[in-house]
Structure 1
């Protein structure tokens, strides 16, 4: 089955937040994305609310529940008590835990699973009691031992951090070994019974090789590149382009 596409709304929210105005509408563009066949919506509500605001969460939850009940809501974040409270309120189908410092501009590395195993085990357990599927942000470095520890936390999935792969846009010859390491990490996850998501700097151009190397890829979460393309092609056509790049029949 081709990878599903979850549209990350953070960049849209950041553009909205430049002015004290309600546009571009996070809800409205999320609706267009889902109408065009996206399988879900992703947000990362950071403590400073510099893009997604806490007040956006119930709006997105209602959009999915009322109009697209087959879609999923994915919330990313570092598992503080405040973040867990947001998840308890919004009831996302999936929670993706990232090891970000609140001051980071964006996610730029996966968890050190050995160092944080006990902490993640507790957080995963608490989130699964809420009924959420849990995915853990992971470096795609081919480290099978790290993935074994990720499995031991009780997580359902890992999300491969694809930033280094996406960063090869000006030097495609560097992409092949990074892609292979991502593939080996996904292979290790599959051997442990973990499903695999991926996200960060994915584009229409670099998605097809990724899904070819990882044919069992469950989901990709894409925001910046997708939003940039939407400025040129419109949100609906951009979602269709990314769905095709995932191998979906559109």
Structure 2
């Protein structure tokens, strides 16, 4: 079964619109974990436009104290500040993304060939027996890309599903996007890498993704989950995503 990691960036961004402590990031974390989510994902950016540094420590304490079985996944560009934060907090998974700090959201994977030496040094610094390292991966990375990712020492790749989510309403384009994702997933698993996925996955497009790209260990979903939660609440939205992933 594919596990669900609930991304809480959008919750934090909503909170940050006002100088108020709600909606509570840790409070929503409790709701989604109690509803069955297997973990929490956050992406603390330097400008703190959504997740704040204080959130990182509060979530870490919450998971250690009350949800020790849950996975804490922290995404980010491997700047020195980010690396020091990871070494302090010690999450169970780190997902390295090639984002510029000014980007609104992640929109491409790593150049595993061109950035191989850089990534190898970062992975070696962060990797621990109790900590998994995942690398953000373009959907069409293919065999060459995932072999280069494997050579860094990473444990997993995370398939960038944004292009698929963007063209889901176009049957031909969606099938082509799914074909790329499926091929990269197969190549990654053949190379001995685990596979995660995330970006613009929704209750509508997730079933076709699941059918076309089998063997994904975990999906990180935030924007879609939050949008659905506005209509049905976070607990029910979480349960519905988990039900799709079980199917």
Is TM-score (shorter-chain normalized) higher than 0.5?
yes
* 2:95 alignment partner, SS class: strand
| Cα distance in structure 2, aligned partners of 1:212 and 1:53 | 36
Does structure 1 retain, via aligned residues, the 8 Å contact 2:6–2:37? yes
Q: CA deviation at 1:129?
A: 3.9
| 1:216 equivalent in structure 2 | 215
Does structure 2 retain, via aligned residues, the 8 Å contact 1:205–1:245? no
Q: CA deviation at 1:214?
A: 2.3
| 2:75 equivalent in structure 1 | 76
Does structure 2 retain, via aligned residues, the 8 Å contact 1:44–1:52? yes
Q: Is 2:85 the partner of 1:86?
A: yes
| Cα distance in structure 1, aligned partners of 2:141 and 2:127 | 27
| Cα distance in structure 2, aligned partners of 1:80 and 1:149 | 21
Q: Is 2:120 the partner of 1:121?
A: yes
Q: CA deviation at 1:142?
A: 4.9
| Cα distance in structure 2, aligned partners of 1:123 and 1:171 | 39
| Cα distance in structure 2, aligned partners of 1:206 and 1:170 | 9
| Cα distance in structure 1, aligned partners of 2:209 and 2:113 | 27
* 2:147 alignment partner, SS class: helix
Q: CA deviation at 1:65?
A: 1.2
| 1:39 equivalent in structure 2 | 38
| 1:3 equivalent in structure 2 | 2
| 1:204 equivalent in structure 2 | 203
- Which blocks of at least 5 consecutive residues in structure 1 are unaligned? none
* 2:196 alignment partner, SS class: strand
RMSD of the alignment, in Å? 1.1
| Cα distance in structure 1, aligned partners of 2:77 and 2:100 | 8
TM-score by length of 2: 0.97
| Cα distance in structure 2, aligned partners of 1:176 and 1:129 | 38
| Cα distance in structure 1, aligned partners of 2:143 and 2:129 | 29
| 2:191 equivalent in structure 1 | 192
Q: CA deviation at 1:203?
A: 0.4
Q: Is 2:154 the partner of 1:144?
A: no
| 2:24 equivalent in structure 1 | 25
Q: Cα deviations across residues 112-164 of structure 1 (Å, max 9, x unaligned)?
A: 01110000000001110484200000001152101100000000000000000
Q: Cα deviations across residues 61-104 of structure 1 (Å, max 9, x unaligned)?
A: 11111111110000000001100111111111000000000000
Paired residues in the alignment total 247
* 2:56 alignment partner, SS class: helix
Q: Cα deviations across residues 140-194 of structure 1 (Å, max 9, x unaligned)?
A: 1152101100000000000000000000243244211100110000000011000
Greater than 6 Å deviation, 4+ residue runs: none
* 1:246 alignment partner, SS class: helix
| Cα distance in structure 2, aligned partners of 1:158 and 1:28 | 29
| 1:15 equivalent in structure 2 | 14
Does structure 2 retain, via aligned residues, the 8 Å contact 1:88–1:130? no
| 2:235 equivalent in structure 1 | 236
Does structure 1 retain, via aligned residues, the 8 Å contact 2:76–2:96? yes
TM-score by length of 1: 0.96
